A and B are shown apart, each in its own frame.
Chain A
Amino acid sequence: MGRRVIEIDGVSKRFELSSHGTSLKERFVHRERARAEQFWALRDISMSVDEGSTVGIMGRNGSGKSTLLKLVGGILKPTAGTVRVQGRIASLLELGAGMHPELTGRENIFMNGAILGMPKRELERRFDEIVEFAELEQFIDQQVKHYSSGMFIRLGFSVAVNVEPDLLLVDEVLAVGDENFQRKCLERVRRFQRDGRTIVVVSHSADQIRQICDQVAVIDHGNLVALDDPAVAIRVFREHLLEDELDRRARSEAEERPSQSLASEDIVDRVDEPVSAATHGAAQEAKRNLRVRIAGIEFDYAHKDERRYLLPGEALTITVRYTTDESIDDIVIGLGIFEHATGRPIYGTNTDILGTPLTTVAGAGQVTFEVSFLPLLDGTYPITVGIHSHDEATVYDWSEQRTWFEILSPDRTSGLVWMPVEAKSSGA
């Protein structure tokens, strides 16, 4: 028999945006303008969460997902509507909240535990476990100001997960500490799940959401746009991202930017991890003499009209169109595929390697790269196209990670590479 843990009923949140300070004079001077700068972070959200489920909240930065988590945690009050929560909440919104650098680790455990609402007696009972989990046995009576940042985070996390909450709120903090500690954190989240506790995770990492959540809510511009299985919700999330991307592309085209390319900062802005500096590519781009120009890069796949992403294992055709005013015989067209999150090249080839060397080109033409089976999982994959001489000393044109395709996986597989795998079991 499950029971209700969270009930969000018609919740809206409005912020007054004030860029100016908080002194009386400034308030007085800016009071007209302040009235105009209102912003609805959330609009009429209703949903409920039952005991034992792990719910993900996805959305871009500024979509309102963290605001929703703060309302559930009671840190902010809604402008309208109510949030009802039953049971003890521990939030990993901020690890080590209220800890004071002048106090020792021991004193801070009690401080932090009290803030998270744990009775002192219970804290005393679990004290050893907390210290052990944080791996701080030797340092527990030292002032926290002498701790490294890693130690501080471990201590905070350890208290948070050991207060035995009924509801755990997590805001993208599973990426703290070293790898070993991260694994421990994930294990602890899984133990919570096995114990039938309720978890709400805010993230924009589809991988993380897919790994731990049963259900996902997608927030876009303050509206709840999906509440579904991870696979479906993540697709909705991506679609909203792409929607925005197209809007932006349309806008930037209106501003007369080169039509074939998106500026690379758009990519950076869109997904939060930075593109690693492609120094080789940047150098090549700088060298281009434009005797042959890339006229367009196009993607073709089976359901292009219905969706803006591919599924793992689908076929993809990449068409590179070029134009030149001369006749050039020393020419190679190269293709590179990158993983957006890390900037790592995952595939590189060119017309020579593929055994279809180009002969003399003149005027306009095109080369198609046909990928019959795309063995990739979720993600954004920028591509690089280069047109250069055989020895790469002359670069005619180069487009470094300015276009990309997206892959959405319908199942919960995680990682980078998609391959057909079957599990078989046999009795013992």
Chain B
Amino acid sequence: MSTRLGTIGTTGPETAFAPDVALRIVAPRRTFREHVRDIVQYHELLASLIRKELKVKYKNSVLGFAWSLLNPLLYLAVYYVVFDLLLGSAITAFPIFLLSGLLVWNFFATSLIAGTSSIAEGGSLVKKVFFPREVLPLASEGAAFVHFVLQFFVLVVVMLVVRWNVDIRFVWLVVPALAVMLLLAAALNILLSAVNVYARDVKHLIEIVLLAWFWLTPIVYQWGLFDSRLGRRGLNWIVLLNPVTSVTLAFQRGIYNRTTASDGTTVLLPGTSALWYVRNLTIVGVVSALLLFLAVRVFDRLEGNFAEVI
């Protein structure tokens, strides 16, 4: 049955929308471009949500923001004791090596954990107010990124204090590596946050996956461990299937910057040119962009009933 009963208002059926003002169209599907446009349009909300997440996290705690700086230092202490003192790692200046990979991993992991449940826990916001829902997982990522920046700042201070030398030919790798990491995290966050609304298992699953993922990425140990076992058979490309490895390697090369240990034989990082790192980052970047496109498409299909399912 079709019910077309006409127009409400004083002006009659010939009225039209104003030509110069943006229309909000609520339709079963939106294109990728429309999603991006809407997110950009709501950048102020994104900023507000990030601020809120940061404020709320340390409200009523005595140390406040200091916690986000203490956190990696505590990690560092534990890994230092276990790997350097107990297991006798071959890596010189272990703390710098560890932090150069760990900080960016921490950003990735915390952003994914918070982002995955961001919509399911969005509550009244998702149920009652219009805004592009991707803003929620992106805000989780943004908050994690702010923490990362603070922690990275601490690392820089430490490096200045111990007069750590960086190589100008490699240090810039940090910038594209970070960009790729942000892109990959955004794609995964958008995808997982939407799926998690319908299958809450994802939230639990991701924690376990991240744990395995962490130990499969050369962060606590050196790239050379893989290289010595797989490199001989020409299989070390398998390690690069893990997209995060390309990112952490670039970070380690840019900051830690020693390709062999002090014994002269243990390989820590690939001794290749910067081009090799850039190639890897480019591949991960392209894959992440495709993944983002796919994630938004999936998101688009799933978002229609968020308000009802939550």
Q: Hey, which bits of chain A sit against chain B, CB under 8 A?
A: 1-4, 7, 10, 15-16, 21-25, 27, 43-53, 55, 70-87, 89, 91, 93-94, 97-98, 100, 102-103, 107, 110-111, 114-117, 119-120, 143, 214-215, 217, 223-227
Q: Contact check: which of B24, B28, B127 meets A94 at CB < 8 Å?
A: B127
- Cβ contact within 8 Å between B11 and A107: no
- Cβ contact within 8 Å between B17 and A7: yes
Stretch at the interface among B51-59, B89-97, B146-154, B287-295: B51-59
- Cβ contact within 8 Å between B17 and A50: no
Taking the closest CB of chain A, its distance from the CB of B61, in whole angstroms, is 11
For A15, A74, A227, the residue with the greatest tally of chain B CB atoms inside 10 Å of its CB is A74
- Cβ contact within 8 Å between B307 and A22: no
Q: Contact check: which of A27, A45, A73 meets B199 at CB < 8 Å?
A: A27
Chain A neighbourhood of B55, CB < 8 A: 102-103, 107
Task: List B126-153 residues whose CB lies under 8 Å from chain A.
Answer: 126-131
- Closest B residue to A171 using CB positions: B128
Taking the closest CB of chain A, its distance from the CB of B269, in whole angstroms, is 40
B44 CB–A CB distance under 8 Å: yes
For B4, B21, B126, the residue with the greatest tally of chain A CB atoms inside 10 Å of its CB is B4
B22 CB–A CB distance under 8 Å: yes
Chain B neighbourhood of A82, CB < 8 A: 25-27
Q: Contact check: which of A4, A15, A94, A107 meets B128 at CB < 8 Å?
A: A94
- Cβ contact within 8 Å between A86 and B303: no
Q: How far is the CA of A53 from the CA of B10 in the complex (A)?
A: 8
- Cβ contact within 8 Å between B48 and A111: yes
Q: A77 with B3: in contact, given A22-B309, A49-B9 (CB under 8 Å)?
A: no
27 A-B contact pairs sorted by A residue (CB < 8 Å) = A2-B11, A4-B16, A22-B197, A22-B200, A24-B199, A44-B3, A48-B9, A49-B8, A50-B7, A50-B15, A51-B11, A75-B126, A75-B307, A76-B304, A84-B25, A86-B18, A86-B23, A98-B124, A100-B56, A102-B56, A107-B55, A110-B48, A111-B49, A225-B3, A226-B5, A227-B6, A227-B8
- Cβ contact within 8 Å between A78 and B23: no
Q: Hey, which bits of chain B sit against chain A, CB under 8 A?
A: 1-11, 15-18, 21-28, 42, 44-45, 47-49, 52, 55-56, 59-60, 124-131, 197-201, 303-305, 307-309
Chain A neighbourhood of B23, CB < 8 A: 84-86
Q: How far is the CA of A184 from the CA of B199 in the complex (A)?
A: 44
Chain B neighbourhood of A1, CB < 8 A: 11
- Closest A residue to B10 using CB positions: A2
- Cβ contact within 8 Å between B305 and A15: yes
- Cβ contact within 8 Å between A44 and B2: yes
Q: How far is the CA of A4 from the CA of B10 in the complex (A)?
A: 11
Q: Contact check: which of A44, A52, A76, A102 meets B10 at CB < 8 Å?
A: A52
Chain A neighbourhood of B17, CB < 8 A: 3-4, 7, 84, 86
- Cβ contact within 8 Å between A115 and B8: no
- Cβ contact within 8 Å between B21 and A86: yes
Q: A48 with B7: in contact, given A83-B26, A84-B17, A102-B56 (CB under 8 Å)?
A: yes
Taking the closest CB of chain B, its distance from the CB of A395, in whole angstroms, is 50
Q: Contact check: which of A48, A110, A223 meets B8 at CB < 8 Å?
A: A48
- Closest B residue to A110 using CB positions: B48
Q: How far is the CA of A225 from the CA of B2 in the complex (A)?
A: 10
- Cβ contact within 8 Å between A70 and B307: yes
Chain A neighbourhood of B18, CB < 8 A: 3-4, 86
- Cβ contact within 8 Å between B11 and A75: no
Chain B neighbourhood of A25, CB < 8 A: 201
Q: A24 with B26: in contact, given A75-B130, A103-B52, A215-B9 (CB under 8 Å)?
A: no
Chain B neighbourhood of A55, CB < 8 A: 8
Taking the closest CB of chain A, its distance from the CB of B118, in whole angstroms, is 13
- Cβ contact within 8 Å between A119 and B44: yes
Taking the closest CB of chain B, its distance from the CB of A324, in whole angstroms, is 52
